[in-house]
Amino acid sequence: MLSRVADSIYWMSRYVERAENVARFIDVNLNLMLDSPSGEDQQWQPVVNITGDHVEFAKRYQTSTQYNVIHFLTFDRDNPNSIISCLRAARENARSVREVISSEMWLQLNSYYLMVNSACTSGKIVESPHDFFNEVKLASHLFMGLTDATMTHGEGWHFCRLGRKLERADKTSRILDVKYFILLRSVADVGTPFDEVQWAAVLRSASAFEMYRKRHGRISPKAIVEFLLIDPEFPRAIRFCLNAARDSLHAISGTPIGTFRKPPEKLLGQLCSDLAYANVDDITQEGLHEYLDRLQTNMNQVSAGIYEAFFARRMPESRRPGKERTQVQE
């Protein structure tokens, strides 16, 4: 597969996942605000913090009101991580690889983009925000379902999955990181109804509430961290995502799992092993924030390593004539 094409597929997939996660953050917070006791401050700043774009936000918006935050994260074309910007980038990437992905994927991504684009101007978001963000989530899910059902599970599909899982792991880690103070506070302040609502919201932003209840029953901060960080079976848990990313990375390179030839294989393998043997008590002792910070740095390095190994433009080394048709391994 062409390096440029692999790069576009990987980013197409990441941007669709990112758009969905932004919609999740906003939707959960909208619900949370409806449950807030009167007099409680409208908490919209943390939503901006989750996306990591608070500096950009502060430059152009005075206050973190609901309107400002939703506008910034959804329709602001100058914010590269707003839903509309993500979809535009995903669509541009898809447009440059239309001959590689399935027509169904392209059709879905194109109508997804057109839907959000028309919502930008129609004011629908103001009338029924919940419907809108729900549609965004569903459109992303439909795209991923079509990816799995209509695209050959070959190299291109693995780049899709690699991008999606790394993006999702990153977003789940941000949810945990930003909400950790709520979780910590609750250790000393267990059982107030408001805390339970907050914890439930953390789970809901990862569509994890029901699955969590099946697994752990009672809502406790420690179990929530365990569920979102190291559960091996929940599809938005960081460990689950990184395991899937590792499988795709090795499917692409052909290196057996458990061994490595390229730097990102080594680093991702180490991360997966670390999570496999982690326990929440050790992590909270080190400090959840510190742990997540390190994890995010490492995931960024995996991304950079993937770029170096597969997408970066190089020149071939000169070879003797006669060996022209053999592939050149880097």
Residues that bind another protein (CB under 8 A): 1-6, 92, 95-96, 98-100, 103, 106-107, 110-111, 114, 155, 252, 310-311, 313-316, 318-319, 321, 324-325, 327-330
- State in angstroms the smallest separation of the CB of 92 from another protein: 7
Distance (Å, rounded) from C-alpha 6 to C-alpha 45?
Answer: 36
- State in angstroms the smallest separation of the CB of 312 from another protein: 9
- State in angstroms the smallest separation of the CB of 325 from another protein: 6
Nearer to another protein, 290 or 330 (CB): 330
Nearer to another protein, 3 or 301 (CB): 3
Nearer to another protein, 66 or 110 (CB): 110
Q: Which amino acid is at 242?
A: L
**Structure-token pair, residue 15:** 């941007």
Nearer to another protein, 55 or 315 (CB): 315
Of the candidates 96, 192, 106, which has an alpha carbon nearest to the alpha carbon of residue 142? 106
* Contact (CB, 8 A) for 74 and 26: yes
- State in angstroms the smallest separation of the CB of 149 from another protein: 18
Distance (Å, rounded) from C-alpha 90 to C-alpha 12?
Answer: 4
- State in angstroms the smallest separation of the CB of 323 from another protein: 9
Nearer to another protein, 107 or 276 (CB): 107
Nearer to another protein, 209 or 311 (CB): 311
Of the candidates 234, 201, 235, which has an alpha carbon nearest to the alpha carbon of residue 219? 201
Q: Is the torsion defined by CA of 163, 169, 170, 175 positive or negative?
A: positive
**Structure-token pair, residue 117:** 């684009």
- State in angstroms the smallest separation of the CB of 320 from another protein: 8
DSSP character at residue 317: P
**Structure-token pair, residue 237:** 């848990």
Task: Report angle CA 231, 223, 269 to the nearest 5 degrees.
Answer: 30
* Contact (CB, 8 A) for 217 and 239: no
